[in-house]
Amino acid sequence: EADIYQTPRYLVIGTGKKITLECSQTMGHDKMYWYQQDPGMELHLIHYSYGVNSTEKGDLSSESTVSRIRTEHFPLTLESARPSHTSQYLCASRDNGPQHFGDGTRLSIL
Amino acid sequence: GENVEQHPSTLSVQEGDSAVIKCTYSDSASNYFPWYKQELGKRPQLIIDIRSNVGEKKDQRIAVTLNKTAKHFSLHITETQPEDSAVYFCAGLQGAQKLVFGQGTRLTINP
């Protein structure tokens, strides 16, 4: 089924660890996005990509990085996790139509 | 760039009554305005959208109106039901590439 998939759904990890959040979509969308969202609060855009080898920083300053080597895959990496990174991370994709979101990764840094 | 303001931040209505959420945008070139519903612990889901070449769109109990001159658009939910309780986000499309979201409205339907 065409969808957007995020793994893991939940992650609890210690300070200083390197973390990669996975996002894959099977809809062939060129544009992909990462948002940070505390539960029920605003969606903050942290990274986006308009296609392979294209990445841009979003409106919210983030210590994370992204890569876009394949159309379907847009992973987000935190080199050294801190408690301030505790949040939910939502991945999304679109072409020229509606934007679709993944189920998110709920990240807790101890 | 585009800026989208959404009001109110919280809204409580009696079951069966109507709910209205309003958004304003700043970029007159924006031409696509979706609305998302996010239930607790779930992903945001598109519920309705409108393009700038129409003034109103309706889907059962949900409607969206757009006023391009005033640069505002609204979500209308009629005959509200408990399952309508959620956080709702409006958005405007900036430069055909990036959605700019409003701050969200937490809607509570009281039985």
Say yes or no: B92 contacts chain A, CB-CB below 8 A: no
How many pairs of residues across A and B have Cβ atoms under 8 Å apart?
A: 40
What pLDDT was estimated at residue B89? 98
CB A24 within 8 A of CB A76: no
Say yes or no: B106 contacts chain A, CB-CB below 8 A: yes
Residue A11 clears pLDDT 80, i.e. is over it: yes
* Contacts with B97 from chain A: Cβ below 8 Å: 31, 48, 50
pLDDT in tens, A24-63: 999 999 999 999 999 889 999 999 999 999 999 998 877 8
- Rounded to the nearest integer, the mean pLDDT of chain B is 95
Q: What percent of chain A has pLDDT over 70?
A: 100
Going by pLDDT thresholds of 50, 70 and 90, the confidence category of residue A97 is: confident
A64, β-bridge pairs:
A78
Q: Do A40 and B87 touch (CB under 8 A)?
A: yes
Q: Which amino acid is at B24?
A: T
Q: Do B89 and A43 touch (CB under 8 A)?
A: yes
**Which parts of chain B sit beneath pLDDT 50?**
none
What pLDDT was estimated at residue A12? 97
Q: Do A102 and B43 touch (CB under 8 A)?
A: yes
Better-predicted residue by pLDDT, A60 or A87 = A87
What pLDDT was estimated at residue B24? 98
What pLDDT was estimated at residue A61? 75
Q: Do B38 and A40 touch (CB under 8 A)?
A: yes
Going by pLDDT thresholds of 50, 70 and 90, the confidence category of residue A69 is: very high
Distance CA B93, CA A64 (A): 25
Distance CA B84, CA B108 (A): 8
Q: A9: how many CB neighbours lie within 10 A of its CB?
A: 10
**Residue at token pair 């894959």:** A24
What pLDDT was estimated at residue B4? 96
Write a three-state SS string for chain B: CCCEEEECCEEEEECCCCEEEEEEECCCCCCEEEEEEECCCCCCEEEEEEECCCCEEEECCEEEEEECCCCEEEEEECCCCHHHCEEEEEEEEECCCEEEECCCEEEEEEC
Both structure tokens of A103: 């189920």
Interface of A with B (CB under 8 A): 31, 33, 39-43, 45, 48, 50, 90, 94, 96, 98-104
